[in-house]
């Protein structure tokens, strides 16, 4: 008995330890302290971040993954970026580009095969043709482009990013940075300085000590121009040394130069160094990936508990859910601190937050009802939303700077968070209803008390969702009144939010009027998933309205498939039970409500 009580604690703590293993300091890569290099703070996309983030996001955009296998070892983002900047000929042989479109492959003269990853050297001979095709596709409205046009434009943009990265610290073709520093005052070298200033994809040189703000960050080109007037920034020399050491594969000098540069930037701008170090840990820990894994394990354990040793496994599954929540929360809090913003700032973070809110609500429900059902639904939804978030992250930096109209922590913290909690509530109600449907239709033994408890949970969550979606919608209106001069403009995103409010209100009124019973409420709750997904993602695909910062078109088929499954589940929820189970003909006709009131069901006693 005592031991059984310890099992959940053991499982939960084991999961947390597993998640934090990633925080151990990584070893050297082939003798190079690549991790120290990854810590270096740079300015990119308007904010300070570790160069590790630049490499990761770039590789994510270009290849769709944060690392890859090449010549029988795993190449990480920092090592890849170093190769790209200082050994460009070698980097050109690494399979950094993902190309899926058969027509684009045809353009490159590559036969279709199972291989989807190609090196830059394959693309290089076709640059002019790709540029021609991309230039032709660019002026066409994004919604009107053919699949080939979108694909070729996308490939060309990724090539541009690749090319800019390789020309940020030094010019890829020609002498290294040391030569540029030595000839800084020579007017013949000025075009190279201008090129470096123009092409730089990030600014690697920290502002001098005592400055505040990010305006003082310099590109290498700008620093060379200043060097031509006699003031060589110390960071410039360190970068040149890093480049030389990596090109010569000289680990000792590489580590020393990186160490010098890190110490110098930490002394000049401790705030930037601390920020970069924090984000480096966040990058390495990948809390949302760890959370995803823990949620799957929790889900599997709940399933197992329904078949075997429920008293032992159900609490263990709950412990895993809690451990997943802890990891998920840590990631969310980390993002909030890193960005200095409320948790939801873009579609990606809204998915992370929806998952988090659902899981927290699930933990609360499970504490109240203790049926294992809350754990299952929360773990499944948490996993699903983190998968969605994972796919939304492929656009690169998920902590991009907020455009002027969104630059308001007050409104991001009130309207955006509230409406996202409303999404989460509606999804949780839908997920509970789906779980209820499976249970009703597939379970061998009916347990009316549990069934009733699930209906009660769903009802409570719908009330919760109505409250938050209404409050969020009206707060959005008030924000619109503050920034665009009208409370309500029937903008697609506003309409989407309104639909959620209306639908939840309809469910509650239909229930209060007695027009729907258990089955009806559950089917309606599942339809809530359809409405929420359409208002969350669907309206962004219309490409009209003022909320265009969240525009996306890639997920159209995924969204359609989701809607189709929800409609199928609604049909399943409404299908009479006798369709599925011949075992209990009597139970089919009697409504669950009546059964719940039946005192003569002592089967569990």
Interface ranges with other proteins (CB under 8 A)? 43-47, 200, 202-203, 214-215, 217, 219, 400-401, 403-405, 407-408, 411, 449, 456, 460, 463-464, 466-467, 470-471, 474-475, 477-479, 481-492, 495-496, 498-499, 502-503, 505-506, 509-510, 512-513, 515, 539, 542-545, 602, 604-605
103 versus 214: smaller Cβ distance to other proteins: 214
Whole-number minimum distance, CB 413 to other proteins, in Å? 13
Contact partners, residue 326, CB within 8 Å, separation at least 6: 16
What is the residue-wise DSSP string for 36-61?
A: HHHH-EEEETTEEEEHHHHHHHHHHH
Whole-number minimum distance, CB 107 to other proteins, in Å? 30
Using CA atoms, how far residue 158 sits from 185, 310, 395, in Å, is: 34, 51, 11
94 versus 491: smaller Cβ distance to other proteins: 491
Whole-number minimum distance, CB 544 to other proteins, in Å? 5
Whole-number minimum distance, CB 295 to other proteins, in Å? 28
C-alpha to C-alpha distance for 229 and 255, rounded to whole angstroms: 30
291 versus 492: smaller Cβ distance to other proteins: 492
C-alpha to C-alpha distance for 193 and 171, rounded to whole angstroms: 9
CA 329 to chain CA centroid, nearest Å: 14
> N- to C-terminal Cα distance for the chain?
20
Whole-number minimum distance, CB 8 to other proteins, in Å? 20
Whole-number minimum distance, CB 312 to other proteins, in Å? 17
C-alpha to C-alpha distance for 418 and 556, rounded to whole angstroms: 26
9 versus 515: smaller Cβ distance to other proteins: 515
Whole-number minimum distance, CB 539 to other proteins, in Å? 7
C-alpha to C-alpha distance for 398 and 400, rounded to whole angstroms: 6
Residues 196, 198, 199, 204, Cα dihedral to 10°: 60
C-alpha to C-alpha distance for 312 and 310, rounded to whole angstroms: 5
217 versus 295: smaller Cβ distance to other proteins: 217
189 versus 487: smaller Cβ distance to other proteins: 487
C-alpha to C-alpha distance for 342 and 418, rounded to whole angstroms: 11
What φ, ψ does residue 49 adopt, rounded to 5°? -150, 160
Whole-number minimum distance, CB 510 to other proteins, in Å? 6
Nearest-CA neighbor of 199 among 242, 173, 165? 165
215 versus 307: smaller Cβ distance to other proteins: 215
Contact partners, residue 128, CB within 8 Å, separation at least 6: none
433 versus 465: smaller Cβ distance to other proteins: 465
- Secondary structure class of 573 (helix, strand, coil): helix
> Rounded to the nearest 5 degrees, what angle is found at the Cα of 98, between the Cα atoms of 94 and 100?
145
Whole-number minimum distance, CB 89 to other proteins, in Å? 28
293 versus 505: smaller Cβ distance to other proteins: 505
Do 399 and 343 form a contact (C-beta atoms < 8 A)? no
């Amino acid at each position: 008995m005592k031991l059984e009580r310890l099992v959940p604690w053991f499982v939960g703590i084991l999961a947390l330890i597993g998640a934090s293993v990633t925080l151990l300091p990584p070893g050297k890569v082939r003798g190079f302290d690549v991790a120290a290099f990854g810590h270096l703070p740079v300015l990119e996309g308007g904010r300070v971040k570790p160069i590790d983030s630049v490499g990761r996001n770039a590789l994510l955009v270009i290849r769709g993954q944060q690392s890859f296998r090449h010549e029988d070892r795993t190449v990480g983002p920092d090592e890849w970026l170093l190769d790209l900047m200082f050994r460009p000929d070698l980097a050109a042989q690494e399979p950094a580009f993902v190309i899926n479109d058969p027509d684009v492959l045809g353009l490159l003269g590559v036969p279709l095969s199972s291989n989807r990853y190609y090196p830059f050297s394959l693309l290089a001979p076709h640059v002019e043709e790709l540029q021609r095709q991309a230039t032709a596709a660019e002026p066409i409205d994004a919604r009107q482009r053919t699949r080939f046009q979108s694909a070729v434009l996308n490939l060309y943009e990724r090539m541009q990013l690749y090319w800019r990265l390789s020309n940020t610290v030094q010019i890829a073709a020609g002498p290294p940075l040391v030569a540029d520093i030595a000839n800084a005052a020579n007017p013949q070298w000025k075009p190279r300085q201008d090129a470096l200033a123009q092409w730089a994809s990030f600014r690697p040189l920290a502002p001098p000590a005592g400055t505040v703000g990010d305006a003082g960050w310099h590109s290498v080109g700008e620093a060379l121009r200043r060097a031509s007037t006699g003031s060589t920034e110390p960071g410039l020399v360190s970068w040149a040394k890093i480049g030389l050491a990596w090109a010569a594969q000289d680990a000792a000098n590489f580590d020393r130069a990186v160490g010098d540069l890190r110490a110098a930037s930490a002394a000049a701008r401790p705030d930037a160094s601390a920020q970069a170090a924090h984000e480096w840990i966040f990058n390495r820990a990948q809390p949302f990936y760890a959370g995803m894994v823990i949620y799957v394990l929790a889900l599997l354990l709940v399933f197992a508990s329904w078949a075997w040793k429920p008293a032992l496994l159900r609490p263990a599954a709950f412990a895993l859910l809690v451990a997943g929540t802890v990891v998920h929360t840590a990631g969310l809090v980390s993002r909030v601190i890193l960005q200095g913003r409320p948790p939801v700032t873009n579609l990606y973070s809204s998915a992370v937050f929806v998952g988090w809110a659902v899981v927290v609500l699930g933990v609360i429900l499970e504490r109240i009802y203790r049926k294992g059902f809350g754990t299952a639904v929360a773990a499944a939804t948490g996993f699903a939303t983190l998968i969605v978030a994972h796919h939304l992250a492929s656009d690169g930096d998920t902590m991009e700077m907020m455009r002027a109209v969104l630059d308001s922590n007050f409104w991001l913290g009130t309207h955006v968070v509230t409406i996202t909690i409303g999404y989460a509530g509606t999804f949780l109600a839908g997920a509970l209803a789906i779980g209820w449907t499976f249970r009703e239709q597939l379970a061998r033994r009916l347990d009316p008390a549990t069934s009733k408890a699930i209906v009660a949970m769903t009802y409570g969550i719908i009330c919760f969702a109505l409250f938050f979606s209404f409050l969020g919608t009206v707060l959005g209106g008030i924000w619109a009144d503050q920034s665009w001069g009208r409370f309500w403009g029937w903008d697609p995103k506003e309409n989407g939010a309104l639909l959620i409010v209306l639908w939840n209100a309809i469910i509650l009124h239909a229930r209060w009027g007695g027009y729907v019973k258990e089955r009806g409420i559950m089917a309606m709750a599942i339809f809530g998933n359809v409405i929420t997904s359409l208002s969350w993602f669907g309206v962004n695909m219309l490409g009209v309205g003022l909320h265009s910062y969240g525009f996306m078109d890639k997920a159209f088929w995924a969204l359609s498939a989701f809607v189709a499954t929800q409609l199928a589940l609604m049909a399943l929820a409404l299908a009479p039970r006798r369709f599925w189970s011949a075992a209990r003909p009597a139970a089919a006709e009697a409504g669950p409500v009546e059964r719940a009131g039946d005192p003569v069901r002592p089967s569990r006693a």
